[in-house]
Structure 1
Amino acid sequence: MAYDSTDLRSTLPSSTAAAPAPERFSGSEHIQFRDLPPVEKHDDTSTWYARGQNFVVGYSEVDGTATFSREGQPDEYVVLLADDSLTAHARAAGEEVTASGRTMLVLPPGDSTVTVTGQGRVLRLLTTRSDDLAGLAANADSYAEPHANIPPLQPWPEPPEGYRIRAYDLTVPPLANPPFRLYRCTTFMVNFIDPKQGPRDPAKLSPHKHDDFEQCSIVLAGEYVHHIRWPWTSDKANWREDEHQRVTAPSVTVIPPPSLHTSEAVAAGTNHLIDVFCPPRFDFSAMEGWVFNAGDYPAPAGR
């Protein structure tokens, strides 16, 4: 892992897995919503979908009022308010919660409704057990066959205080370096990083890899280049070309394991990227104080 010594990620534990190196690799996914018509369009809302192996991202632009409902939802899901100009009223299991500004809402299994008012971006994160939405993803065909090197989805333990609506402030001070803001539930981990001005220093990139999970990088503002490199194996037929994929907001990129990757902000103005993982990451969760709501959601025993 190429982390600067001042980067907290340089202290992450190394993998001790003895599994053999994979011989087969899946490709990345780059979905640029501006290049596609919205899948759902109502008077006040336009919505696009993208997916990974275990998750679906619903991206909506709201100007007025939008209502998002789930009936018989099989597991927890997340609603992100990405702008200060939004207010959400959530209802589920006889409970009602109102939140304003940049907020992460966790909704319980079962029936729920989230009504959003204002002007801004709303993201919904659901597992692919919500097959009605998985089928709406722009890249749904890419997952007709499971992608390589990703184990089956296993939700994390239920919260000790039970399922309910939970709201987390996405404006609280982040970690120092890198300035991460990490929250998790039973199905997702979200790293809500603040917007940055100007390009990233090309001398301070952070190429790294994940052995057995996808990284979902969502660009909310600006432009990024996703640099991705796959391992070479003894069978040249399995080699893949390096990628240096430029994307503009709004976009979803799914980075496959075990590719080496780093993302470089390149726009002169505001750049904003957040990362999503499904299920939560064990390595980040093992670091004391990194996950801001760790008390609400225990990690699996023995990890």
Structure 2
Amino acid sequence: MYGKNDLRASLAPSAEKVAMTPFKPASYGRFYEEMPVEESELASTWLTRGQNLIVAYSAVRSGAVLARSGQIDEYAVVLPDAGLSVEITAGGQTETAHGPCVAFIPPGDSSVRALGDGGLYRLITTRSADLAARCANAGDFATPDLNVPEFTPWPDPVGGWRIRVYSGDVPSQPGRFGRIYRCTTIMVNLTSGRAGPRDPADLSPHHHDDFEQYSIATAGEFIHHLRWPWTGNSAHWLEDQHAYCAAPSVAVIPPPATHTSQGMSTGLNRLADVFCPPRHDFSAREGWVLNAADYPAPDPAP
């Protein structure tokens, strides 16, 4: 059940689905305690994957360049904090993005040049096999998750491919959940976070039938609580998890695990929740996706 005052409680319940078995356990990237998979004088990069998405976290210094050559599909750059700006170049276009923001980068050749010091995230589908193979947790996905359907991109953007930058400073609004942006491959919810520990009597356990959630801790500390359903075959049962993840980190939460995240720090606790491909239920809510005019949703299934 969602906690009191949680706007997600208003989402229409999905039709009952029978999950495939066995279930996948959650997978974690704790970038603050792991060795980077790429390191240079100006940037260190960590890679963690799920079934559909790679989360690439980079700690950068001014002048660092993160490039993609022949990128197969659209990807995202997330600057979670004010104070870091980047210069993005792709398709003959150059744009400057100032944090906090999310930027969507078209397929093909592109580069992201840091204009200061800080941390940033690139969100790239696992169709980029060169990165998927280098993820620290690649072994967790040597066998595909049968509960996650095959990835299908959403329709092309209105007006064609180009760099699109969206602010993370949009004021909150009653009745709207977070700051949600989508592209053809990814949906990002930039939340404001919460100051101080979350009330343990006001959590929001819920599950997703057939899509992953990538909960990226951009500030603070969290306990990710997860529980898997019991089936008639006890060999498929998994132990509950109460996984500690500080920032920067990502928790890859598989379906159909019931889950909720509990902020623990006395300071700011902030998550960015990511889905690949975008969520239909969030997209169906009027006004929730702030850039819906730029990225159409697929036609409803007949």
Normalising by structure 1, report the TM-score.
Answer: 0.95
| Residue 252 of structure 1: aligned partner | 250
Is the 1:219–1:252 Cα contact (8 Å) retained in structure 2?
yes
Looking at structure 2, the residues matched to 71 and 45 of structure 1 have their Cα atoms a distance apart, in angstroms, of: 18
Note the C-alpha offset of 1:195: 3.3
| Residue 165 of structure 2: aligned partner | 167
| Residue 2 of structure 1: aligned partner | 2
Number of positions where the alignment pairs a residue of Structure 1 with one of Structure 2:
301
RMSD of aligned C-alpha atoms?
A: 1.4
- 2:245 corresponds to which letter in structure 1? V
Looking at structure 2, the residues matched to 195 and 66 of structure 1 have their Cα atoms a distance apart, in angstroms, of: 28
Structure 1 residues 52-71: aligned runs within 5 Å? 52-71=50-69
| Residue 116 of structure 2: aligned partner | 118
After superposition, the C-alpha distances for 1:13-60 in whole angstroms (9 at most, x for unaligned) are 11125x434342111002211221111122222111100001101101
| Residue 97 of structure 1: aligned partner | 95
Normalising by structure 2, report the TM-score.
Answer: 0.96
Note the C-alpha offset of 1:148: 2.8
- 1:203 corresponds to which letter in structure 2? A
Looking at structure 2, the residues matched to 144 and 268 of structure 1 have their Cα atoms a distance apart, in angstroms, of: 38
Note the C-alpha offset of 1:2: 2.9
- 2:189 corresponds to which letter in structure 1? N
Match of 1:20 among 13, 18, 21: 18
Structure 1 residues 1-303: aligned runs within 5 Å? 1-4=1-4, 6-17=5-16, 19-176=17-174, 179-302=177-300
Note the C-alpha offset of 1:161: 1.1
Is the 1:175–1:290 Cα contact (8 Å) retained in structure 2?
no
- 2:272 corresponds to which letter in structure 1? I
Is the 2:86–2:96 Cα contact (8 Å) retained in structure 1?
yes
Match of 2:139, SS state, is helix
Note the C-alpha offset of 1:198: 0.7
Looking at structure 1, the residues matched to 242 and 173 of structure 2 have their Cα atoms a distance apart, in angstroms, of: 28
Looking at structure 2, the residues matched to 300 and 116 of structure 1 have their Cα atoms a distance apart, in angstroms, of: 34
Match of 1:162, SS state, is coil
Match of 1:158, SS state, is coil
After superposition, the C-alpha distances for 1:193-252 in whole angstroms (9 at most, x for unaligned) are 123211011111000000001100111222100000000111111111111111111111
Is the 2:19–2:209 Cα contact (8 Å) retained in structure 1?
no
- Distance 1:30-1:9 versus aligned 2 partners, 3 A rule: same
| Runs of 4 or more above 2 Å deviation | 1-4, 19-24, 174-179
Looking at structure 2, the residues matched to 180 and 215 of structure 1 have their Cα atoms a distance apart, in angstroms, of: 15
- 2:299 corresponds to which letter in structure 1? A
Looking at structure 2, the residues matched to 158 and 178 of structure 1 have their Cα atoms a distance apart, in angstroms, of: 25
Match of 1:224, SS state, is strand
Is the 2:3–2:204 Cα contact (8 Å) retained in structure 1?
yes
Looking at structure 2, the residues matched to 119 and 196 of structure 1 have their Cα atoms a distance apart, in angstroms, of: 25
Is the 1:175–1:181 Cα contact (8 Å) retained in structure 2?
no
- Distance 1:264-1:173 versus aligned 2 partners, 3 A rule: same
Match of 1:231, SS state, is coil
Note the C-alpha offset of 1:7: 2.4
- 1:128 corresponds to which letter in structure 2? T
- Distance 1:77-1:237 versus aligned 2 partners, 3 A rule: same
After superposition, the C-alpha distances for 1:98-121 in whole angstroms (9 at most, x for unaligned) are 122212111101111121111211
Note the C-alpha offset of 1:174: 3.0
Looking at structure 2, the residues matched to 233 and 178 of structure 1 have their Cα atoms a distance apart, in angstroms, of: 36
Is the 2:49–2:138 Cα contact (8 Å) retained in structure 1?
yes
Which moves more between the two structures, 166-175 or 256-265? 166-175
- 1:8 corresponds to which letter in structure 2? L
Identity percentage of aligned residues: 51
- 2:7 corresponds to which letter in structure 1? L
Note the C-alpha offset of 1:175: 4.1
Looking at structure 1, the residues matched to 209 and 287 of structure 2 have their Cα atoms a distance apart, in angstroms, of: 24
Looking at structure 1, the residues matched to 292 and 132 of structure 2 have their Cα atoms a distance apart, in angstroms, of: 28
Match of 2:184, SS state, is coil
Q: Please, which runs of 5 or more residues in structure 1 have no aligned partner?
A: none
